[in-house]
Structure 1
Amino acid sequence: MISNNVIFIMGVSGCGKSTIGQLLAQKLNIPFFDGDDFHPQSNIDKMSHGIPLNDEDRYGWLLTLNKLAKKQIQKNNCIIVCSALKKSYRDILSEDVQRQVKWVYLVGTFNQILERIKKREHHFMSSDLLQSQFDTLEEPKQALEINIGLKPEVIVEKIIKEIKMKSEFGLFGLGVMGRSLSRNLAQKGFKISMYNREVKGTEEGVAIRFKEAHKELKSAQPFSEIKAFVNSLQTPRRIMLMVNAGMITDMVIEDLIPFLSDGDILIDGGNSNYLKTKERYDYLKTKNIHFIGAGVSGGEEGALKGPSIMPGGNKETYNLIKPYLESIAAKDANGLPCCTYIGEEGSGHFVKMVHNGVEYVEMQLLAEVSTILKLKGNNPNEIADILESWKSKADSYLLGITIDVLRKKDGEDWLVNKIVDKAGNKGTGNWTTIATAQLGVPSTLIATALFARYTSFYKEERLQSSENFNIKPASLNLEIIDILNAYQFARIINHYQGLKLISEAGRSYKWELNLSEIARIWTNGCIIKSDFMVDLISVLKENDNILSHQFIIDLIQSFKPSINKVVAQCVLSELAIPCLSESVNFLNAYTTANSSANIIQAQRDYFGAHTYQRIDDDSGKFHHTNWK
């Protein structure tokens, strides 16, 4: 259902707000309210004596107009005229109804407006008072600007054309995710425009056919021509790019730039590299175009029903698109949107990249657990039943879909048995591994999960090596509870390493990241949502390092005997479990007070004179030895 809107017409006194507002209300046949009629007597007395109002004077008045707006849009569209000179005033006026507010800013020069005021009888606005309004004015970034030099009738027609006929949000690219997000936005009552390219003979009428296939897109506008698509949007334009990451994104941005205006906003919703997002952010800033890099997780279903969204960029720019993104996002257990402002520049895409790295590990761990259970003599259906029993202690989205995968039959056999064991990847695991190396953070599980996929891809060599070495995994004598505990242990290490990488990136790039908020928006809508993620919200409020929290320490200590047993037996049975084994290797290294790194540092000093520090020298001085 399409929601009602309030049109605020703003500008300094004498710009013609009331005249334009009344004409527009008559033309649209909707209620009109003059904000000046709602001033308390104390404000009227001040202004009539030529005394400017201060923020304290205006606060109650602005709250009254906000309540009026909220009341009116319950039953109809309406128009309210109000000077709304400061951004803080406009924030109060639009509180709780941001997505339903349309701003029209009537622009004129001081002399132009002063001449108008002089011609009006009984107008109390002096030149000093008018100047104080110009001094106070903070021009809006999100308003439709109209020059008051135009005839009132022309101004009204321009407003109607811009606000009534134009869409408020644009989707560029109708692939799987773009289609789902378009439907999600439309279902939430937003009027949208959708663009998809056309290729004669192979890809024609994509946007039109998509609109016709879904009733919720009845008011959506479909396009296959970029200029028309851009011109169909209200200003500042809000365009979400749902195209392939990399060169395609840059090409699309260049195609759009000639038709954009100052203050327009591009949102990259693809899996872009965070460093490229920073480059695009800086590049578009030189052209007065805002850029937001937004990670979107949840796949096709999540994009339709509610994804987890991780936007990064300028915070003021984010606030201009916040109502749209938060409306379509999944909701957490408290009904809050699984979308939050992440931080500056490419931080949103960085967090999404790490999300995908954590996802790689979670998938690999479930694959390893399934392999262990298979070696114990269970068929896919029996493995699914065992995993099903784990939901009370370790439930997650990925656990649920793994159960579904294992139960799927294809004829007389299980489908999973017919799938070639070569795991692909789209690059985010690779980027995460590069980032963790560049930042010097030991996210070893993410790298291990990535390399496990790479190893799987050498199918032909693995077949040959299987014959050459004749390594056949032996049977395992493990209790199901030990396998579950080992799985939970490895998951804790995985989440620690992923969150540590995000934390260190925040310090390195000077992003102010809130790890607890990031965990919260990962509790629904995304691929790595889980019961454990819910637990991490409160843990991360106390400390960014989850391994220093007593709750986590207790869990680790309770699971440690099981992971030791599982990894030891799997190694002795010659079964590959790269992520399970790496998780315990990491903790053993992480908890070693005095490691073997002293030998490495001595070796470095021996062949390269890299120096070393001494434990019996508190000065921090670096030493060198002639080792021969």
Structure 2
Amino acid sequence: MNNHLVYIVFGVSGSGKTTIGRLIANQLGCDFFDADDFHPQVNIDKMAAGIPLNDKDRKDWLERLAELLGQIEKGQSVVLACSALKEKYRQALIKHSQIAIQWIFLEGNYSTILNRLSQRTRHFFKPELLHSQFNDLEVPEYAIRINVSKSKNKIMEDVMNQIGLEKNKVGLIGLGVMGKNLALNLATKSTSLSVYNRELKGLEENIAKDFCNENKELSINGFDNLESFVYSLSLPRKIFILVKADVLDQVIDQLIPLLQENDIVVDLGNSQYQLTRTREQKLNDIGLRFLGCGISGGEEGALNGPSIMAGGKKEAYNAVSEYLKKIASKDKSNYPCCAYLGSGGAGHFVKMVHNGIEYAEMQLIAEMYQVLRKLYNLDPIGISKIFAQWNQSELNSYLLGITEKILKVKEGKDLLLDKILDKAKQKGTGGWTVQAALELGVPISSISEAVMARSTSSMKNMRVKLESIYRFNSQKSDSEFEEDELAKAYKAARILNHIIGFEMLRQANSQFRWEIDLSEVARIWTKGCIIRSNLMEEFVSTFKNLNSENHLLQLDQVSENIRTSISSLLKFTGHGISYGISLPVFSATANYFNAMVESQSPANLIQAQRDFFGAHTYSRVDRPEEEIYHTNWTI
């Protein structure tokens, strides 16, 4: 973007030379000089007294500026803001210069400039001197002329267009670990990129500039000034945001005054889907476009290719899909793991459910580890070998693979895992999933139990105290260790957990009228994301051509797998619990299955109880369901 020129922004006092000059310098990433800072004190005093400068007053001042410009070497750029009203002043300025000069004249009529001067405070130039400046002004034909009667944003657009600086195609805000990796991902895919990170003294300083210096071989321009960052982007602007949820709205509010109609803002963070819907409506109402895109894959995925779940207006997605598909992981057929899922918060909703499934998948593996180690007395290396074998089978998954590696890592002679405090943290997406399920009336027992398991783990001190009161002597299983049965139990629980998550997507899609294709969701989750697995590959075909009215447990491929493994799950769960092992997610999947395949539940008793104490009424099996009844139960 840097053309290696000296840019001299000139015009009468009050035309905006300093403001526009600084913005240009920020855009170029070069030094800025204000000619007013080079005036001797006698000149400042004279102007402050309302006395115009003459040529003699300007002589030494112009010489100092000429010496400054003469020191600029080839390969450098600087921006100078200077009145330079007469041609002889301009020639005096550049007499020592060794590189090309680009003159930028800021023009405005007398009344416009006078109005600006009257609003300016703490400046030595008096408004009554403006007449003398207009009298001295000689406008050269070689200068770029910029009308200053427009907004600052429009002025900068005109400047950028006329000086011919090539604009970048995509902007990214937020250079945390994920942001940096996504920026590198984009830049290595032949995408010219602008990056911005806020400046917080003592905390976040020179983040963007340092990042660019570390990656000079890539087409990345770094900014710590938001205005300059925005001006560096081609229209319509495409701005990706990767910041913490608690500052996202603040960043959006700062962006809005700088944007133009049809510019696109893309939230790539973990946002609550209902807030995403609100933000989309807010920006749409003022002519801007907004997408909420969930991304999964962690740091490695951000760099090498995440799974991307997009939500918002289709035309906004179409405008940025080229870049989203560039950075996405590729499935086995080399198609991008990126999909449009519907309007509003659809993308973040799907990402939220992804994380809910992830919570339960992690908990299932942890529970299996606990059974193998505590109940069957296997050492971590032995458990790692079992997980490695499973990972070479239909049970293959990213999470199982990393767990197999974790179980082999030692610190000295000790297992590193044993030195990690057993208090699992969470960022909120699991809880959001549970809350959304409650609002939708969808059972997600495996996910809710995984969230509660993390909450229970946080109560470490209390658990230590209660163990001393209640824990019976540790017992080992009195049955033989049957790896095949454990594998089947794990298989059934995994399938049911995924069915629970995908069922939530199916029902939400129906209620919100989104465009979620479960087969397509499974496809974009086959690579890049945290829950990628062989099972997800199977689901791509399993979920094709779904009947929207059918529960996923009704699918032939699902029922076939469940029938061959459910008895192992029920046996495993009961056996583990009877020996004092907590198996919340295994139990939840087993209970979900039992409840879903039981035609007569005890909910009729619950309805009778509700009617007894609260006259909540009930329906009858021998009458139309829309008819309601109440009984005086005390008679």
Query: Considering the TM-score relative to the shorter chain, is it more than 0.5?
Result: yes
Counterparts of 1:223-622 in structure 2 under 5 Å? 223-245=223-245, 247-375=246-374, 376-391=376-391, 392-476=393-477, 477=479, 478-543=481-546, 545-618=551-624, 620-622=626-628
Residue identity opposite 1:333 in structure 2? K
Is the Cα contact below 8 Å between 1:472 and 1:574 reproduced in 2?
no
Give the SS at the match of 1:291: strand
Is the Cα contact below 8 Å between 2:619 and 2:625 reproduced in 1?
no
State the Cα distance separating 1:468 from its structure 2 match: 1.2
State the Cα distance separating 1:453 from its structure 2 match: 0.2
Identity %: 44
What are structure 2's unaligned runs of at least 5 residues? 1-156
| C-alpha spacing 1:578/1:207, structure 2 compared with 1 (3 Å) | same
CA distance in 1, matches of 2:163, 2:343: 35
| C-alpha spacing 1:434/1:473, structure 2 compared with 1 (3 Å) | farther
User: Would you identify which runs of 4 or more consecutive aligned residues in structure 1 move more than 3 Å?
Assistant: 155-162
| C-alpha spacing 1:159/1:203, structure 2 compared with 1 (3 Å) | closer
State the Cα distance separating 1:214 from its structure 2 match: 2.6
State the Cα distance separating 1:374 from its structure 2 match: 0.6
Greater CA drift, 459-468 or 373-382:
373-382
State the Cα distance separating 1:200 from its structure 2 match: 2.3
**Match of residue 174 from structure 1:** 175
Give the SS at the match of 1:193: strand
Is the Cα contact below 8 Å between 1:520 and 1:533 reproduced in 2?
yes
Give the SS at the match of 2:339: coil
| C-alpha spacing 1:202/1:601, structure 2 compared with 1 (3 Å) | closer
**Cα deviation per residue 1:302-337 (whole Å; 9 max; x = unaligned)?**
000000000100000100000000011000011100
Is the Cα contact below 8 Å between 1:180 and 1:303 reproduced in 2?
yes
CA distance in 2, matches of 1:202, 1:295: 28
Is the Cα contact below 8 Å between 1:197 and 1:224 reproduced in 2?
yes
| C-alpha spacing 1:161/1:273, structure 2 compared with 1 (3 Å) | farther
Is the Cα contact below 8 Å between 2:276 and 2:344 reproduced in 1?
yes
State the Cα distance separating 1:215 from its structure 2 match: 4.7
Is the Cα contact below 8 Å between 1:184 and 1:303 reproduced in 2?
yes
**Match of residue 207 from structure 1:** 208
Is the Cα contact below 8 Å between 1:183 and 1:216 reproduced in 2?
no
CA distance in 2, matches of 1:354, 1:619: 32
| C-alpha spacing 1:473/1:285, structure 2 compared with 1 (3 Å) | farther
Counterparts of 1:22-41 in structure 2 under 5 Å? none
State the Cα distance separating 1:508 from its structure 2 match: 1.7
State the Cα distance separating 1:363 from its structure 2 match: 0.3
| C-alpha spacing 1:311/1:161, structure 2 compared with 1 (3 Å) | farther
**Cα deviation per residue 1:495-529 (whole Å; 9 max; x = unaligned)?**
11111111111122221221111111000000010
Residue identity opposite 1:272 in structure 2? S
**Cα deviation per residue 1:409-439 (whole Å; 9 max; x = unaligned)?**
1110110011000000000001001000111
State the Cα distance separating 1:197 from its structure 2 match: 1.2
Is the Cα contact below 8 Å between 2:311 and 2:344 reproduced in 1?
yes
Is the Cα contact below 8 Å between 1:539 and 1:546 reproduced in 2?
no
| C-alpha spacing 1:603/1:434, structure 2 compared with 1 (3 Å) | same
| C-alpha spacing 1:224/1:448, structure 2 compared with 1 (3 Å) | same
Is the Cα contact below 8 Å between 1:187 and 1:216 reproduced in 2?
no
Residue identity opposite 2:587 in structure 1? S
| C-alpha spacing 1:161/1:385, structure 2 compared with 1 (3 Å) | farther
Give the SS at the match of 1:454: helix
Pairs aligned (count) = 471
**Cα deviation per residue 1:66-89 (whole Å; 9 max; x = unaligned)?**
xxxxxxxxxxxxxxxxxxxxxxxx
| C-alpha spacing 1:179/1:158, structure 2 compared with 1 (3 Å) | closer
Counterparts of 1:116-195 in structure 2 under 5 Å? 165-195=166-196
CA distance in 2, matches of 1:278, 1:595: 37
Aligned CA RMSD, in angstroms, stands at: 1.6
CA distance in 1, matches of 2:400, 2:558: 21
| C-alpha spacing 1:161/1:268, structure 2 compared with 1 (3 Å) | farther
Computing the radius of gyration from Cα coordinates, the structure with the larger value is 2
Give the SS at the match of 1:517: helix
Residue identity opposite 1:336 in structure 2? Y
Give the SS at the match of 2:266: strand
State the Cα distance separating 1:201 from its structure 2 match: 3.2
Counterparts of 1:73-88 in structure 2 under 5 Å? none
State the Cα distance separating 1:619 from its structure 2 match: 6.4
CA distance in 2, matches of 1:330, 1:322: 14
Give the SS at the match of 1:625: coil
CA distance in 1, matches of 2:266, 2:250: 15
State the Cα distance separating 1:224 from its structure 2 match: 0.5
CA distance in 2, matches of 1:161, 1:582: 65
Give the SS at the match of 1:394: coil
CA distance in 2, matches of 1:215, 1:396: 37
State the Cα distance separating 1:546 from its structure 2 match: 2.6
| C-alpha spacing 1:603/1:201, structure 2 compared with 1 (3 Å) | closer
CA distance in 2, matches of 1:560, 1:496: 14
Give the SS at the match of 1:542: coil
Is the Cα contact below 8 Å between 1:311 and 1:318 reproduced in 2?
yes
State the Cα distance separating 1:467 from its structure 2 match: 0.5
CA distance in 2, matches of 1:261, 1:530: 43
Is the Cα contact below 8 Å between 1:605 and 1:612 reproduced in 2?
yes
Give the SS at the match of 2:394: helix
Residue identity opposite 1:550 in structure 2? D
State the Cα distance separating 1:179 from its structure 2 match: 0.3
CA distance in 2, matches of 1:574, 1:202: 48
| C-alpha spacing 1:301/1:268, structure 2 compared with 1 (3 Å) | same
Give the SS at the match of 2:286: coil
Greater CA drift, 371-380 or 230-239:
371-380
CA distance in 2, matches of 1:596, 1:572: 25
CA distance in 2, matches of 1:618, 1:235: 60
Greater CA drift, 607-616 or 472-481:
472-481
TM-score by length of structure 1 reads: 0.73
| C-alpha spacing 1:226/1:619, structure 2 compared with 1 (3 Å) | closer
